[in-house]
């Protein structure tokens, strides 16, 4: 299993690594800055650079415990030292939208005990599906969006810590999803804390402070049925 450098430092753009295996377009490294698509967050993309040649990384995913980098020109690569370079503009936009969804989740949970039933994070937008708000009027939704923007402007620090599962599960609000999605086999839980408004389990990449997100707009709401409302948002 590759060392997941993105979990230690979301701002790390480049790293030295070793290609340990190549199978067609699939490349495995001993450590990586590339975030594999998971938890609703899209994959990083970027470059592998070896012997002066740049090869595009077009997709990254976890498969059977390994992080698989799909590349455009595997014939230009060989087992051995390589430089991995993430597409920073894409990564940073994903980080901002991921932190944004945590703030939205915190505000709606505080006001209406909303739980998340799903989300998707893109570089240019994001969506979150929440319970408990289907009966709200548009002006009530807009007031909550305004409150979330106020929380972003407070520039809350975003910090990360890891706790034993038994200790983490005693934190109120640690799980804000409709079901606990953390596999039982996972004994150490990575927690993302946003100031004094939120702390929840998360394996994604985030900014260091909410002020980096800026503000956001609500582009669309949609009733998904069964008491679930989808909010489609975009950082601006």
| CATH code for the domain in which residue 157 is found | 3.30.980.10
138 and 213 assigned to the same domain: yes
Quote the domain boundaries for residue 206: 91-235
126 and 40 assigned to the same domain: no
Each residue's pLDDT expressed in tens, for the chain with a length of 236 residues: 899 999 999 999 999 999 999 999 999 999 999 999 998 999 999 999 999 999 999 999 999 989 999 999 999 999 999 999 999 999 999 999 999 999 999 999 999 999 999 999 999 999 999 999 999 999 999 999 999 999 999 999 999 999 888 888 787 776 666 556 666 777 888 999 999 999 988 999 999 999 999 999 999 999 999 999 999 999 99
What radius of gyration, in Å, describes the C-alpha atoms of the chain?
Answer: 19
DSSP 100: H
230 and 118 assigned to the same domain: yes
Contact of 141 with 236, CB cutoff 8 Å: no
Whichever domain contains 77, its CATH number is: 2.40.30.130
Domain count, the chain: 2
203 and 107 assigned to the same domain: yes
Using CA atoms, how far apart are residues 160 and 8, in angstroms rounded to an integer? Answer: 9
């Amino acid at each position: 299993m590759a060392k997941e450098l993105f979990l230690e430092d979301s701002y790390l753009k480049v790293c030295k690594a070793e290609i340990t295996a190549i199978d067609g377009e699939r490349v495995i490294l001993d450590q990586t800055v590339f975030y594999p698509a998971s938890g609703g967050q899209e994959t990083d993309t970027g470059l592998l650079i070896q012997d002066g040649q740049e090869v595009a990384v077009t997709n990254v995913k976890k498969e059977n415990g390994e992080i698989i980098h799909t590349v455009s020109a595997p014939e230009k690569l060989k087992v051995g030292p390589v430089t991995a370079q993430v597409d920073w503009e894409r990564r940073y936009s994903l980080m901002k939208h991921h932190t944004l969804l945590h703030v939205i989740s915190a505000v709606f949970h505080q006001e209406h005990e909303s739980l998340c039933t799903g989300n998707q994070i893109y570089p240019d937008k994001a969506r979150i599906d929440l319970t408990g708000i289907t009966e709200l009027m548009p002006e009530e939704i807009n007031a909550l969006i305004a409150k979330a923007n106020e929380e972003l402007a407070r520039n809350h620090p975003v910090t990360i810590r890891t706790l034993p599962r038994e200790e983490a599960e005693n934190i109120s609000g640690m799980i804000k999803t409709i079901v606990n999605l953390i596999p039982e086999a996972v004994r150490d839980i990575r927690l993302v804390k946003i100031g004094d408004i939120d702390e929840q389990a998360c394996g994604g990449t985030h900014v260091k402070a909410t002020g980096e997100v800026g503000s956001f707009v609500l582009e669309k709401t949609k009733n998904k049925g069964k008491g679930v409302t989808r909010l489609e948002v975009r950082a601006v």
